[in-house]
């Protein structure tokens, strides 16, 4: 039905009223409802290092002009008086930004050991739920000079507001270049080289055309087989297929405390790019390979500590780890058609529409744990696995399957299945691309960005965030399982140095497989 306004009046049409009501009252997406299940109550925390003293009034004014104009950040969660999560809805509300800003009073003695205080402060945030009577986000402004920042801002969101990539894109859309306060941050151009099939198709004649058809058919067969195998593995993982019980695999059923520990470490992105260029890989390939090497070194040490006889025993037995360790990670994959920072900035400025929500799938990535004579073998194995995973619809399949289960069997069943599947793996992993030049947070220049996630059943989650010429590694750990996360950071950094040296020794020529 469509009824227009009467001539000469400004009364809204029925269509306009319906549209307005639709904007102000929306049901939660299936993924958002899962993120509110007790077994899967997830939050995103992002620690932002600031180069100068924070001015809260300036940031509050900036938030009023940007973030709170986004529908999800100006809507509260309403259950309509029912415990059934199927009835949960986002309802627009008037946002008082000051109610979401926390400026703690930090005692002088805590400022003397600022790094430890920051870790303790962020860890304490993981034990406190957000107030559902207002939009599910808050910002902590800490007048705290740490080893790598003059002051610190901590953003906390509920994961139901959106997936990590969308939330980080939205945060970046609130920022501007320090060199030009009117310009949005610039992300590195992702150069997708043309595939072998496209090169052949450009000049496909005779034998070349036949070869191209054979390659396309072979690729299609591989895609189907890989997808079927990955689907079966995911089903088996949700039912019974468990990872090896290693010193970094937690058991969410035995957890007595909800407290998580969050730490970060910043390394040179140029070192990663050097390895990437020499080995003809992507940054993500290199990060996965170095992570595999770092985890192998860390586990070696943990097994040595368990081994009786200490150092003397480890000298006689250089490899004290089990020969075969099944250690898999859930790699988060963004499935949404690309939404640029400019689109999100326009949405906040002009209140226009933009694709939003949790559009994430999972890839189960098996790390090949073990000590290698050639450290570059970690890179080759990681690249081989991820290349095979790219030729599969695994991520899309997990997203579609999750949505189907929620709609057909309810949120609780979906949460239990996802929770069980993740708990049978060991860790989570994600890698996000950041700005290539210095940016500011409402006039406050940024030194680093360290995003993290907690609430899912993993004792270890690793996030990687690039920014300028740096890569920040964020670890979220269960301290009852991994009590020394800084040592894991040390092993990751040492593995990066070892691989870099090996790459430099081999020069820029082709590396044999």
Catalytic residue ranges: 159
Q: What strands lie across the sheet with 470-477, from one edge to the other?
A: 261-268, 470-477, 460-467, 427-432, 326-334, 360-368
Q: How far apart are CA 478 and CA 53, in angstroms?
A: 32
Question: Which runs of consecutive H residues, i.e. helices, occur in 113-182?
Answer: 114-125, 164-173
Q: How far is CA 426 from the centre of its chain?
A: 16
Cα atoms in the Cβ-side hemisphere of radius 13 Å centred on 480:
10
Q: How far apart are CA 352 and CA 331, in angstroms?
A: 32
**Residue 100 DSSP code:** G
What are the Cα distances from residue 336, in Å, to 70, 72, 122, 356? 18, 17, 30, 8
First-to-last alpha carbon distance for the chain, in angstroms, is 66
Do the beta carbons of residue 240 and residue 425 sit within 8 Å? no
Contacts with 412 (C-beta within 8 Å, 6 or more apart), sequence order:
37, 85
CA-wise closest residue to 385 among 360, 361, 362, 368: 368
Phi, psi of 232 (to 5 degrees): -65, -40
């Amino acid at each position: 039905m469509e009824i227009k306004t009467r001539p000469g009046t400004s009364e809204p049409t029925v269509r306009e009223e319906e549209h307005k009501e639709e904007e102000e009252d929306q049901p939660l997406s299936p993924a958002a409802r899962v993120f509110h299940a007790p077994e899967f109550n997830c939050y995103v925390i992002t620690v932002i290092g600031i180069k100068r003293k924070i001015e809260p009034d300036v940031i509050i004014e900036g938030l009023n002009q940007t973030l709170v104009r986004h529908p999800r950040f100006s809507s509260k969660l309403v259950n309509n008086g029912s415990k059934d999560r199927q009835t949960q809805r986002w309802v627009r509300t008037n946002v008082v930004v000051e109610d979401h800003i926390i400026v703690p009073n930090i005692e002088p003695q805590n400022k003397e050991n600022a790094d430890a205080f920051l870790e303790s402060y962020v860890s304490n945030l993981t034990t406190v739920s957000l107030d559902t009577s207002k939009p599910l986000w808050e910002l902590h402004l800490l007048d705290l000079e740490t080893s790598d920042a003059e002051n610190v801002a901590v953003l906390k969101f509920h994961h139901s507001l959106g997936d990590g990539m969308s939330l980080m894109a939205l945060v970046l859309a609130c920022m501007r270049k320090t060199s030009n306060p009117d310009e949005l941050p610039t992300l590195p151009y992702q150069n997708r080289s043309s595939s072998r099939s496209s090169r052949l198709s450009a000049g496909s004649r005779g034998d070349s055309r036949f070869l191209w058809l054979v390659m396309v058919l072979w690729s299609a067969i591989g895609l189907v087989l890989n997808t079927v195998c990955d689907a079966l593995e995911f089903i088996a993982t949700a039912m019974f297929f468990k990872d090896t019980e290693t010193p970094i695999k937690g058991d969410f059923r035995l957890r007595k405390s909800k407290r998580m520990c969050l730490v970060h470490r910043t390394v040179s992105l140029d070192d990663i790019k050097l390895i990437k260029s020499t080995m003809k890989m992507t940054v993500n390939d290199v990060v996965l390979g170095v992570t595999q090497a770092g985890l192998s070194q860390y586990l070696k040490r943990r097994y040595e500590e368990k081994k009786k006889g200490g150092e003397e025993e480890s000298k006689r037995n250089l490899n004290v780890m089990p020969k075969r360790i099944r250690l898999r990670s859930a790699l988060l994959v963004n499935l949404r058609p690309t939404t640029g920072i400019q689109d999100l900035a326009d949405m906040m400025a002009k209140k226009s529409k933009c694709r939003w929500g949790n559009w994430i799938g999972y890839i189960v990535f098996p790390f090949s744990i073990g000590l290698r004579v050639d450290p570059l073998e970690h890179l080759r194995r990681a690249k081989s696995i991820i290349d095979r995973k790219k030729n599969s619809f695994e991520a899309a399949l997990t997203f579609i399957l999750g949505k189907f289960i929620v709609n057909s069997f309810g949120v609780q069943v979906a949460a239990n299945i996802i929770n069980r599947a993740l708990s049978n793996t060991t860790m989570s992993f994600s890698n996000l691309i950041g700005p290539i030049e210095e940016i500011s947070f409402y006039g406050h220049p940024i030194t680093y960005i360290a995003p993290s996630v907690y609430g899912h059943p993993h004792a270890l989650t690793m996030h990687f965030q690039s920014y300028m010429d740096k890569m920040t590694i964020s670890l979220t750990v269960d301290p009852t399982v991994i009590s020394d996360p800084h040592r894991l950071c040390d092993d990751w950094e040492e593995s990066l140095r070892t691989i870099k040296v090996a790459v430099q020794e081999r020069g820029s020529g082709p590396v044999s497989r």
